[in-house]
């Protein structure tokens, strides 16, 4: 016959349950920790090289200088991105200020508001090259734990997070996001449109010690319909860099001078 726990036993059981719940990480905290692995918490700069491949053959390449400044109030980043190569694009700029994204062409001296979903090169959209904290733009739910293959075809035990956009201005409507269960390094992501169509799959690879942490220095992006259409984004020349406030103003773009 079942015997109820004494009162002190009930109190102890409740206390243990509460302690366990408090110790268990939330999906949002897992996502925030992974954001800290992808990006430093203070202003920095790097070089980003995007290479497009079709059927195993390189078709195009773009090099960008990326300047990122973290906002202390929101935790989100503001970006200035300068096109370095190819020569025809040299000097063009992208500015991310809040949810606004602007493209500046020095030939016309005009800045035009653009969509983060618009393709920049291959499978890389404008929103893929700016620095973002996903925990700011997305609500996360822990869907479970599972084994998944990483970008080197190695098995990893992972948390699967389901990310839902908080606003329609962000690049993707929802994301399936796998994090290494031990390190919380990002392993893989699937990106979906508002119609729930798979747009692309990304693998985060080649983790290197950069600016105080092991960070992914290469992202392989595979088209959602054509697996032979691949874009590789490589990050190099990481460095802390004070990004002046005036660089992040639309009105300043015609006056920007490359370093």
pLDDT one digit per residue (tens) for the chain, 259 residues: 445 545 544 444 454 444 334 456 899 999 999 999 999 988 999 999 999 999 999 999 999 999 999 888 887 899 999 999 999 999 999 999 888 899 999 999 999 999 998 888 888 988 898 999 999 999 999 999 999 999 999 999 999 999 999 998 899 999 999 999 999 999 999 999 999 999 999 999 999 999 999 999 999 999 999 999 999 999 999 999 999 999 999 999 999 988 7
Q: How far is CA 143 from CA 110, 137, 209, in A?
A: 45, 19, 30
CA distance 174 to 164: 5
Nearest partner of 132 among 93, 189, 183, 205, judged by Cα: 189
Residue 53: the pLDDT is: 97
Residue 204: the pLDDT is: 97
Positive or negative, the Cα torsion across 37, 33, 174, 24? positive
- Cis status, amide bond into 86, omega within 30 of 0: yes
- For the chain, the straight-line distance linking the first and the last C-alpha, in angstroms and rounded, comes to 80
- The residues near 9 (Cβ < 8 Å, ≥ 6 apart) are none
Say if CB 203 and CB 190 are below 8 A apart.
no
Q: How far is CA 99 from CA 57, 128, 136, 151, 187, in A?
A: 35, 13, 11, 30, 26
Q: Per residue in 120-157, is it b (16+ CB within 10 Å) or e — as a string?
A: bbbbbbbbbbbbbbbbbbbebebeeeeebebbeeeebe
Residue 99: the pLDDT is: 81
Residue 135: the pLDDT is: 95
Q: How many CB atoms lie within 10 A of CB 241?
A: 16
Residue 222: the pLDDT is: 97
Residue 127: the pLDDT is: 86
Domains belonging to the chain, first-starting first, are 42-255 (2.50.20.10)
Residue 17: the pLDDT is: 42
Say if CB 207 and CB 215 are below 8 A apart.
yes
């Amino acid at each position: 016959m079942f015997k109820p726990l004494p009162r002190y036993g009930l109190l102890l059981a409740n206390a243990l349950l509460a302690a366990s719940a408090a110790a268990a990480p939330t999906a949002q905290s897992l996502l925030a920790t992974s954001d800290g692995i992808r990006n430093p918490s203070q202003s920095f700069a790097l070089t980003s090289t995007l290479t497009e491949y079709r059927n195993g053959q390189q078709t195009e390449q773009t090099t960008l200088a990326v300047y990122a400044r973290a906002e202390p109030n929101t935790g989100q980043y503001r970006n200035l991105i300068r096109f370095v190569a190819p020569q025809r694009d040299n000097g063009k700029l992208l500015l991310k200020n809040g949810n606004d994204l602007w493209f500046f062409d020095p030939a016309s001296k005009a800045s035009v508001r653009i969509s983060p979903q618009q393709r920049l090169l291959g499978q890389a959209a404008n929103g893929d090259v700016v620095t973002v904290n996903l925990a700011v733009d997305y609500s996360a739910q822990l869907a479970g734990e599972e084994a998944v293959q990483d970008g080197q075809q190695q098995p990893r035990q992972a948390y699967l997070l389901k990310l839902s956009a908080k606003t329609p201005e962000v690049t993707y409507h929802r994301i399936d996001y796998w994090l290494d269960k031990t390190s919380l390094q990002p392993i893989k992501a699937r990106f979906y449109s508002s119609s729930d169509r798979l747009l692309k799959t990304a693998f985060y690879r080649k983790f290197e010690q950069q600016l105080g942490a092991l960070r992914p220095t290469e992202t392989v992006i595979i088209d959602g319909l054509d697996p032979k259409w691949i874009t590789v984004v490589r990050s190099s020349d990481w460095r802390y860099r004070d990004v002046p406030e005036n660089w992040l103003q639309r009105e300043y773009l015609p006056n920007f001078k490359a370093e």
